Structure 1
């Protein structure tokens, strides 16, 4: 199958117009590793790149939603910035389900989007296995369960979309810092929270 997406960023659209043809390209990160959300992330992790177009910080923060159209409606292969509710407002949802162990699109493997340092979804019992004073903690609203070496609060007002724009940047920062382990608290799985938790679970998978 072929997946097609159309960017709405003027720099990406300008590149397509200048090329005069559709473009086929991979993501600007190494396979399985953290997605970049700004040019500096690409510069750091793909130093062999000859040119980088810097369009600023990404607006959504997460990778695109990937859907397959069935005869009875849409089926989400990868959740992203466009939520199930957004799609359901204009299309019926298919009654079909995805088959386990059969990845049909990018980001469907159990492990993906992972930092190079051990990463865990926070549960109280995790603190018995790590030393908080050597760890970094990513908080949603600012509730910090222990004294960590570094912390990042991504949305004091509890906005999941704001969190989505910041999560990969926070992971990049902590990955490059002096922490030995990174933790993130689980989020409500509503709206874009479904896509965020999909990324966090896949990022944590190699360290379980």
Structure 2
């Protein structure tokens, strides 16, 4: 993906959506309007496609990516819905509500989508273009905001083009988005409590009207993400960083020329390494070796974020 490539924009009509679905199926990225902001969509079941999101945005933030589905039925294939989740979906889906729910075993999502957590963030968008793309490609779509990391979220196709340029394979121009701020995120707890993880178009009061309030309500202004827990990334074994070869009792996570038992990226692609990080750490946890070694990863660009997580794993 080359930022110097011409920006490819097409109208968000039937032909444009069909073209976008072909790009998605092939593992590419498409900027698509939702009722909140433009999202940078890729198929959520493929590590390489998720790497394309990271590559376009400049670096991963390692927060769970929101997965978009066309309806509750598609959502229940990926996550475990309880009565509260169904009530929220009945009240606010399709719409600007994202729910963080337990990930269903065998859901088939790329590990990077859920950031290594046992949960998944799901949204059923109301925008006709995003709905059309979901139904046309028949795949769940990971779609963070379609802008360079740290930039302002885009509400027009022009914003996307200015921020991402040729880094995105296709931009669907559906005009200005209606709401212009990201979706509300609510987390449902095993102990029947809930947390407002990010405020958005759907208010806390509206959610409380469905779920109840008082002691069952836990509020927070921060998104729950693995970076908040220093031990979250640890595979449960000692981890040695900067390893060129493995010792006899080590499982080696490779990178580039260091092959390893598994590899973050055989070609040394940092975006691919970011997308595969959690899958490799899971593999090391399941391996018979009592210790883990990790090949050096350049501490530049996306590598800064990767090394931050690896240092937490080794702490």
Q: Which structure: greater strand fraction?
A: 2
Bigger radius of gyration:
2
